[in-house]
Structure formats: C-alpha cells, structure tokens
Structure 1
Amino acid sequence: MIKNISSRLTRPRLFTICFSSLAIMLMPSQGVHGEENTRQRALYDIAEAISPQRIEQDITTLVNFGTRHTLSETESDTRGIGAARRWIKAEFEKISAECGGCLEVYFQSEVISNEKRIPEATDVVSVIAIQRGSTDPSRYMIMSGDIDSRVSDVMDFTSDSPGANDNASGVAGTLEAARILTQYTFNGSIVYAALAGEEQGLFGGRIMAEHAKKDGWRIKAVLNNDMIGNIEGVNGVINNTTARIFAEGTRVTETEAEARRRRFTGGEVDSPSRNLARYIDKIADQYIENLDTMVIYRLDRFGRGGHHRPFNDLGFPGIRIMETNENYTRQHQDLRTEDGIAYGDTLDGVNFDYAAKLTGLNAVSLAAMAWAPNPPANVEIAGAVQPSTTLKWEALDTQQNPQLAGYKIYWRHTDAPQWEFSKFVGNVTQATLDNVVIDNYFFGVASVNKEGLESPVVYPGPAGSFGL
C-alpha cells in the first residue's frame, strides 16, 4: 500500500535576502507555483520514521553470524558470509512483499581469484534490491553498506569478527531505509545494495559499478555508508550531532582536453560528487534534527577506502557518509583486552539512535533526489569581459520528468563552501544574471519540481556534469 503523503496547508511566509543589487525571493513553505508541498512534508515524515530499534535488531542479527569475512563459511545457516547474505536477501524480499512486490531483489556475484587478499577462487556475492521509478526508471540513486567483516589479520576468516559498526551498521541502515522508502513511489529509481568483498579489495562495489556501466545505468548518486554507528572517538570526543561526507574533486576519468578547459574555467571543487555532498549537507540542515554534516574535500580518509571509490573510478558521482569520531580500537581488531582497553567491533560500541539519524539523512536525500527531476544536462556558461553572466542547458525530457517546474541558477563566492545565492528562472533553457560578473563567482543550475524539490546543482562544463 502506498503511503498517503497529504498534509495540512500552511500559510506561506515571504523572506527577502538582499545582496548588493540582487533580491532573492524565498518561499520555503510552498512549491514554485504555490502548491501545497506534500512531498517536502513527506521528507520530514521519512526522517522521523527511521527506527533505532529495528536497526539494533538488524545489527544484532548480523553480529550473531559470528564472522562475515569474505572467505568464511558459506554452507552454514547460522555462521559466515553465506548465511549473512541469504538473510539480507530474505529481509529485502520481506520488505518487497509488504509493498506489493515493489523491489527487484537478486544476488550479484563474480568469482574472484589470484588477488592478494583473495588468493583462491571465491564467489563474491552482493545483495541488490531495486525500487523502480515511475517515470524515469533508468535514473538511479544508490544507498550501500558492505556485508563483510574482519579482525586484525585480514586473511583470518575463522575467528569471530562481529563487525557491529564496520559495517553491520551500514547494512542495517540500508535495510531500514528500504523499509521506509518502499512506502512511497518515486520518479527515479532507488537501489539498496549490501556489497561484499570490501575488506578484501572493494570487489562488490567494483562488480556493481561495472555491471551498471555495461547496462547503461544513469547513476546520479552513490551514498556509501561505512561505519555510521560510533559516537565515541579514540581522541576522547563523544558527539552524536555531527557526521562526515567524503567527496572527491576532479574526476579520475577526466580527459586531457577537459583538464585543459578546467584550468581556465574552474571546477576543481565542483565535481558532481562534491555537489552531491553539498546537496546532502543542505538536506541535513533542513530535515535532520541536531545533525551537522562536515563535507570533506577528499575521496576518503588517508590511506583508506570504501565502496564508493569503484563508482568514482568509472566517473559516477559517489560519496562516503560516516561518523565523525572514529575509534580505531574497535576497527579491524581481534577480540581481546590489553592494558584495560577492550578491542573489537562489538555491539556495545554502536549508538543505535545515531545510526538511525544517519540512516534518516540517507533516506531523505534519496527521496528528495528521486522525486526531483533529473539534474540539468550540458550546462554551459558565458560572460567573459561582460557585465553579466549567462547560463544555458539542455531541456529535460518531459516524459521522464513530468514533475518539472523549471530551473534554478545558483552562485557563490569562489571560496565559499556552500551555494550562497539562487534565482528560480522558470522552465527555460537559458538565463542571464545581470551585473553579476562571471570572474567573481562559481555558478551552477538545478532542476526543480512543481513542489520545490530540487536536483543537485550542476556546475557548467564536463567538470561538473552529472551526465544525461
């Protein structure tokens, strides 16, 4: 049954923000044409519906498989990676049954061998669940967590390896997001992925990314959740109000010609991954109570990686969402106590309310993007040695995007981390900002639906393109 998202109409309030000679009119409680924002209100409902109790239950179940090491037991029903992935698949199938079969659930696998961390032929199996969009099903937004766990020796596949936070928390969050979001229908498709082989070399992500590229998936966002449950840092900080979003800059797939253009037009800090991170940061501010996200201009932590990287390697926008304060005594550790310190990634190191908060951030971000139109394509900019700046873009396909109301231009100072100014310009393919000098700002364009939900901002040129 699809959830009813109607709600009471609230009287709109009008605010004016002035910057020099620019006046930007904001109507936060209305869509661009003044309709009741049922979907914007639904985003608050989605955030509130995430259950810490269900997340705790799912993390506990995953921990109770003993170990989820990629090379561990596959035949047992109670221990090892095989039992874990079958349980995850069964959970997605249960969720699908409750929404009338709205999910396509399947195993995705490939035999890996002759690798440093997988020397013998091993079937690396991920679990994928797809919620197809109603009007633009080939546009995909992905939420992922990784199934496997490990102890101190990355090749030790027999010792108990609970992996409560790393990364049962990410898988549990993905399952919980699916439970909530499958109560709604969206224009674009949402994918829930429990990826395998992360600790042995990011194999599950690589396999999925390669399949997606081969199958022509138009991926607009990959939200990789890797450790979303710890609030007690090894540095002594305890904080449940912040999270980190890691986002790489220039695409690794950039050509020599594109790099030459970027040198003169900018875009180093406006890759689609960076603007995806800004989008999620803005979602946190508006919809998630008591959460401040820190956008970090880096692919991942120093010398470390996650399952968003294989997608980035192929040019797809992808980011890592995780806790701010890591506790290294609880990561990749044999279960033991030394000098009064308990080592190991166990249940007592997970704050389930915090994991629910970050799950809510994911769910709301996915819903907002899936309800919004496709990001604008082929955005270009002009204005050299002129007093004004003009942006152009390609009109979106109206059959794929019947919810489209028009487009919004954004701009910001070149040293500003977040977009500062905006102007809704209507359903056009070109707009000019008078007396806004191109040299002094960075610019972008977002598409807007009839209730005011927006796509991520697209920076002009190949450096910022989200693709078609």
Structure 2
Amino acid sequence: MPHLTKLSLALLLAGAASVHAAETADRPLPARQAEIDAIVKEISPQRIQAYVHKLVGFGTRHTMSDTASETHGIGAARRWIKAEMERCGAGRLEVRFDGHLHPVDNRIDKPTEIVNVVATLPGTQAASKDRYYVVSGHYDSRVTDVMNTTADAPGANDDASGTAAVIEMACVMARHQFDASLVFMTVAAEEQGLYGSGDFAKKAKANRMNIAGMLNNDIIGSSHDEKGKLDNGRVRLFAEGVPPLREAPSPELRTLLVTGGENDSITRQLARHVKETGERYVPGFKVDIIYRRDRYLRGGDHSPFLDAGYAAVRFTEPAEDFRHQHQDLRVENGVKIGDYPEFVDPDYVAQVARVNAASLASLALAPAAPQEVKVKTAALDNGTDLVWKANAEPDLAGYRVVWRETTSPLWQGSRFVGNATSARIDMSKDNLVYGVQAVDKDGNVSPATYPLPMR
C-alpha cells in the first residue's frame, strides 16, 4: 500500500452499518506513519546490549547499596543513566533526578534516598503538551536475600533489560517531535516495594498531572523458557480491568459494571491500542494481552499508577526462567544460576522496545481520547445514539465509532463519522460494545472511550 497522507489518504468504504446522512460512509485507516516507521527502524539491539552490560558492570544496583563510588553500586548506576540520557538527548530531553527519603520499612532497614531518573520530551502542540505518556523500567537489582546490599546482583533481565529499552527509546525518540509529552523513566526500589514508581505516581496525582497512559517494562530480556525453548515472537501485556475494591465502588465504576463495561476500563483501552499499533509496526511480533493487573499475585511499577487512577500496563517476556531471577550467583549440578547478561537476548529486547516506541509515538501524535462520551437511553430503540464533547486539537479531522461483540476482546468494526459530536449507528446497544476514537488529519487515532449512559 502506498504511503498515505492527510485524511483523504485513508478513506475506505465501510459497509457494516448504516449511519445518518450527516455522517460520512467512509472511515480513515489507521495509516502507517513514516515517522513511526523510522523510529522503529532506529531501535538498535547492539546499543541495548551495551546498556545491559554497562548496568551489570556496576556490580550491584541494590537500592541500599553504595552511592558514593563512581564505579559500583546504585549511585554510580543512576548517575550514568542520567548522563547517558543527557548526552543522547542533545538538549531536547529534560533530564533530572526525582527522589525522596524513604523511612524504615519492611524491606528498608535505614532511611534511604530513593532516586528515579526522569527524562521528559516536551510536546510541541499547545493543546496536547500537558498530556503525558510515561514509559518505565526499574534499574535496581537484588539477589535471593532482598536485604543483601553487597553481593553481586547483575539484574541483567530483571530489570536492566527494561532500563536499557527505556534509555534506547529516549535516545531515539528525542530526535523526533510529538504533539503530547513523553516521559522516559528509570525507577529505583522496585524490589523493595515499588517505592520509586509509587512516589512518582503519588506526586503526579497530587499535582493533577494528565498521564494518559503508562507502559512498564520489567523482565523483557529472555526469548527462551526454562526448558530452553525459543519463543521470540511475542510478549505479554498485562492489563487490569476492574480494579480491586477496598471500599464501595465509585458511581463511575458502578455504571461501568452495570452496563457490561468491565472489559472497557481505560487500561484495557490502552492495551487494545498498544496491541493494534505494536503489531502493525512490528510485523510478525505478537502482543498477547493478559487480563490481569500483573502475573498471578505479583506486582510491578505500573501498579501505583493504576492505584492513582491512571491507565497503566506491563510488558513481560512470554515465560520467565526463575533460575535467572532473584538468585544468588552460583552453579548447581553444572547449571549456572543467576541473572547474568548472557541470558538476555538483545534482539528480543529490541522487538519489545519497538512495540513500546511505536505505541508511544502513535499515542503522542494522536489526539486525546474523546471525553464525556455518552449513549442516549431516554427512548427504547434498537439503534445506538452516541454523543461526546469536542476535542481541542487544531489538527483534528473527526471521530471514529468502533464496536465489537460483547464476547470479543478487540474491536471488530468501525465507522468514521466526521468532525461531529454525535452519531447514530443502526445496530443495537444491547448486543454490542461501543467506543469513540478521535482522529487527526494524518490518520493518527486515539484510544477508544467507552460510553456511559445518558438519560
């Protein structure tokens, strides 16, 4: 298919449903963007491998390890990460330390400074620059005893792999411009209790920071399972539906459940967008959405963002080999145990980074997801009448209504309805799940917004 530009580039006849005459019968394809293709192509396995080895070279990156040495411990690691992103960001990345003093806790035996390295690429569109997308990996490491601060803890896969991917994305994407802002973050104290990401998410919520999506990369380095079987063509993407409730559900959550929208949380919408975008720009690589917050009863740095009310997902390799995770370095029965860099596949990490980068670029180039999307329910009707609030972006082309059967995980049909704030689809709201997406003039598409009832 030739490269498509502007809205007229991407119109195809869609015949699945009828709409009123005020709407167009055509819909824009989610066009491949040359800039996103370029970003994906620029991701380098060789640089990723070099970053992993550099991080391993600090000996241990335990949260409570040495901070004074220039060559060993977590202090040296975070200073190197900051310097590397400053170097490759060429003045376009705003790089800073973001820290707090954490008190004694279950896994912290002395007051400890927890320091994240945060690199922000400011958006260039006035209407979008205060909308943020965050991508993270954690740079701390551990061995079997989570309180052992001195033993060598290479942490090559857990999580130098995710940290290397974030650094590589920051360096590549800093050479490009986006409407919305991107935050490339490497966090500390994941192994001690998600304290680095937790502090950032807490402050973001308090400051009403508009984080429209958060992608966490943790243990994305191995393309083999524990039996040695190669599985380098897919990645797991963990996406929570209804959050765990500690109290009575909010009116919004109650409405989501009452209307059968438990599979349409903002996180599930983000996951659908990531899967669609990632698989489009990284051919032959599959994104498997897992309907859980994280692996069974486990957690990661996206969790505090979920708790703060943000959409957040986690990338993890298909099958973890626990001999190379949270282990003292040793040899047992001729088998090497420990999280060594030799067990990390840089080509696989690069594929996961490409999915991340394509998704982030698509999200940051697209308009925001529509707000105040409603389904009119005042009258009994076998059609579906949708309304929403107009977006503010100057390059907005219009909106697309998407739908699927209630048992389908992914969108099955769509209709571009023009630059309007309402649409009628002559298919029943009883039988289908709907969403509304915003589309810009270059064909960039936002995640969908689930409609709530309007009486």
Under a length normalisation based on structure 1, what TM-score does the superposition of the two structures give? 0.90
Deviations 1:34-87 (A, max 9, x none): xxx7xx121111111100000011111000000000011100011100000000
Q: 1:205 aligns with which of 184, 191, 197?
A: 197
**2:281 aligned with 1:287:** yes
Percentage of identical aligned residues = 42
Amino acid at match of 1:445: V
What do the CA deviations read for 1:108-149 (whole angstroms, capped 9, x no partner)?
A: 111112210012100000100111111222100011000100
Secondary structure at the aligned position of 1:208 is classed as helix
* Separation of aligned partners in 2, 1:378 and 1:54: 43
Deviations 1:377-403 (A, max 9, x none): 111112463021011111112xxx222
Q: Does residue 377 of the first structure (1) align with residue 377 of the second (2)?
A: no
User: Is the counterpart of residue 76 in structure 1 residue 69 in structure 2?
Assistant: yes
**2:347 maps to what in 1?**
353
2:236 to 244, 248, 252: 244
Residue 215 (structure 1) shift: 2.1
Deviation at residue 330 of structure 1 after TM alignment:
0.4
Uncovered stretches (5+) of structure 2, i.e. residues with no partner: none
Aligned residue for 1:200, secondary structure, equals helix
Taking the aligned partners of 2:115 and 2:440, their CA distance within structure 1 comes to 38
Confirm or deny that 1:178 pairs with 2:170: yes
1:313–1:332 Cα change, 3 Å: same
Aligned partners of 2:36, 2:78: CA distance in 1, in Å?
A: 30
Equivalent residue letter for 2:305: F
For residues 260 and 176 of structure 1, the distance between their equivalents in structure 2, rounded to whole angstroms, comes to 41
Q: How far does the alpha carbon of each residue in 1:385-434 deviate from its partner, in whole angstroms, 9 at most, with x for none? A: 3021011111112xxx2221111111000000101111111111111102
Q: Which amino acid aligns with 1:329?
A: R
Aligned twin of 2:97: 107
Does residue 438 in structure 1 map to residue 429 in structure 2?
Answer: yes
Partner of 2:56: 63
Per-residue CA distance 1:257-310 (angstroms, 9 max, x = gap): 234323321221111111101111101221102201100010000121100000
1:132-211, aligned counterparts within 5 Å?
A: 132-135=122-125, 136-211=128-203
1:48 aligns with 2:41: yes
CA 1:8–1:15 in 2, change beyond 3 Å: closer, same or farther? Answer: closer
Equivalent residue of 2:310, what SS? coil
Q: What is the aligned partner in structure 2 of residue 3 from structure 1?
A: none
- Distance in 2, matches of 1:408 and 1:196, equals 40
Tell me, yes or no, if structure 1 residue 457 matches structure 2 residue 448. yes
Are 2:305 and 1:299 equivalent residues in the alignment?
no
SS at match of 1:199: helix
**Structure 1 CA distance for aligned equivalents of residues 27 and 398 of structure 2:** 15
Change in 2 beyond 3 A, CA 1:122/1:355: same
Alpha-carbon distance in structure 1 between the residues aligned to 2:371 and 2:270? 15
- What is the aligned counterpart of 1:387 among 361, 365, 382? 382
- What does residue range 319-330 of structure 1 map to in structure 2 within 5 Å? 319-330=313-324
Q: Which runs of structure 2 are paired with 1:250-265 in the superposition (5 Å)?
A: 250-252=242-244, 255-265=249-259
CA distance in 2, matches of 1:404, 1:13: 15
Which of 89, 101, 110 does residue 120 from structure 1 map onto? Answer: 110
CA distance in 1, matches of 2:64, 2:172: 32
- Over 3 Å counting, the alpha-carbon distance change for 1:24 and 1:227 in structure 2 is farther
Counterpart in 2 of 1:338? 332
Work out the CA distance in 2 between the residues paired with 1:242 and 1:430. 38
Tell me the secondary structure at the aligned position of residue 439 of structure 1. coil
Task: Pick the aligned partner of 2:391 from 392, 396, 401.
Answer: 396
* Separation (CA, whole Å) in 1 of partners of 2:367 and 2:50: 35
Distance 1:13 1:78, change over 3 A: closer
Deviations 1:349-386 (A, max 9, x none): 01001101110111111111101011111111124630
Deviation per CA, 1:301-356, whole angstroms, max 9, x where unpaired?
A: 01211000000001000000121121111000111111232111101101001101
Q: Structure 1: which 4+ aligned runs deviate by more than 6 Å?
A: 7-14, 20-24
Counterparts of 2:250 and 2:278, CA distance in 1: 36
| Candidates 288, 311, 316, aligned match of 1:317 | 311
Tell me the distance in 1 between the aligned counterparts of 2:54 and 2:373: 47
Contact 2:28 2:443 in 1 (8 A): no
Cα distance in structure 1, aligned partners of 2:442 and 2:4: 14
| Letter matched to residue 94 of structure 1 | R
Do the aligned partners of 2:66 and 2:75 also contact (CA within 8 Å) in 1? Answer: yes
- Using the size of structure 2 for normalisation, the TM-score is 0.92
- Between the aligned partners of 1:8 and 1:385, the Cα distance in structure 2 is 41
| CA offset digits 1:92-114 (Å, max 9, x no partner) | 111222xxx21111101111122
Which residue of 2 is the match for residue 366 of structure 1?
360
Secondary structure in 2 aligned to 1:170? helix
Q: Cα RMSD (Å) of the superposition?
A: 2.2
Count, aligned residues: 441
Matches of 1:67 and 1:228, distance apart in 2: 19
Q: How far has the Cα of 1:252 moved from its partner?
A: 4.9
The whole-number CA distance in structure 1 between the counterparts of 2:156 and 2:401 is 43
Amino acid at match of 1:373: P
Per the TM alignment, residue 18 of structure 1 is displaced from its structure 2 partner at its CA by: 4.6
Q: 1:396 is aligned with what amino acid?
A: N
C-alpha separation between the residues in 2 aligned to 1:432 and 1:217? 34
